[in-house]
Amino acid sequence: MKISFINDIAFIKSLKKGNSKAFTYLVEQYHHRLCNYAYGLVNDKDVSEDIVQNVFIKIWKKRKALKDDINLKNYLYKSTYNEFIDHYRKIRPVFSLEKIHIESLSLFVEEDSGNSLEKLLLEVKKEIENLPPKCKQAFLLSKQEGLTNIEISEYLGISIKSVEGHITKAFSILRKTLDKKSHGIFLLLFRSNLVSKTT
């Protein structure tokens, strides 16, 4: 039997009282969407599920502090985003989490569903596919496959300078073709390889 509540306020009040059915309802309604959102941030299925699990655990522990009229969807997305930040800081020095990533994320973190994020991801992939063939090939070998510029040079049979030129051109084109939100997603997808590798 599907669990339902009269309205959001009734649901929040029930959750605050420790009603297990309310918590089950919360997970059923938002687990999949939050996992999709988290995956867009970390690009790792297991990590994204861990992040969302931590979000639900923290909400349960702090449920009594929730306001009755809270915008639950925004709260959940913000909580997932904050959990992502905590995870990122554990695996990388704090200073490497560039300010532009935070600013870009803030543009869509309050969206009330995962649909907008999925659309942005598709837009980024579409623009990458539209890159000139050589630019796209060098870019994907570097940023997606993790090859160094020397390895790409040997693989494609071109000079290292040509590899650098193709990757630089790809970034330049994408900066122009992607809008601000999509560009933020682009930076997150390739944040670990923003600097071209030469060794």
d(CA 11, CA 100): 36
Question: Does a structural domain hold residue 169?
Answer: yes
Question: Does a structural domain hold residue 106?
Answer: no
DSSP 139-169: HHHHHTS---HHHHHHHHTS-HHHHHHHHHH
Same domain, 83 and 123: no
Structure token digits, residue 136:
């796209």
List, for residues 38-95, the tens digit of each pLDDT value.
887 777 889 899 999 999 999 999 888 888 888 888 888 888 888 887 887 676 544 3
d(CA 160, CA 128): 21
* pTM of the full structure: 0.50
Same domain, 120 and 51: no
Q: What's the number of domains the chain is made of?
A: 2
Question: Does a structural domain hold residue 159?
Answer: yes
The range of the structural domain enclosing residue 130 comes to: 114-191
Q: How many residues does the chain have?
A: 199
d(CA 109, CA 119): 14
